[in-house]
Amino acid sequence: MCAGALVQSRVDRVVYGARDDKAGAAGSLWDVVRDRRLNHRPEVIAGVLAEECARLLTDFFRTR
């Protein structure tokens, strides 16, 4: 849903750290933001501080 919202709102650039191999839609499982069938494709910068982001997410969901 977030990737679709980014395309629809015509965001110019998406920067993220941790991939979501199970449900990601910005280059992981799907690639909605680069789909040529859509009318807008933002620049995607992936993997920024990837290890730190992954650790934060893992710790968060481990405590839930």
Domains of the chain and any CATH numbers: 2-63 (3.40.140.10)
The pTM of the full predicted model, rounded to 2 decimals, is 0.78
pLDDT tens-digit profile, the chain (64 residues): 788 899 999 999 999 999 888 888 888 888 899 999 999 999 999 999 999 999 999 999 999 9
Question: Residue 21's pLDDT is what?
Answer: 87
The answer to whether 23 and 29 are in contact (CB under 8 A) is: yes
Which residue in 31, 45, 32 sits closest to 4, CA to CA? 32
Rounded Cα–Cα distance for residues 12 and 18 (Å): 20
**Model pLDDT, residue 30:** 85
The count of other CB atoms within 10 Å of the CB of residue 3 is 21
∠ CA 55-21-56, rounded to 5°: 15
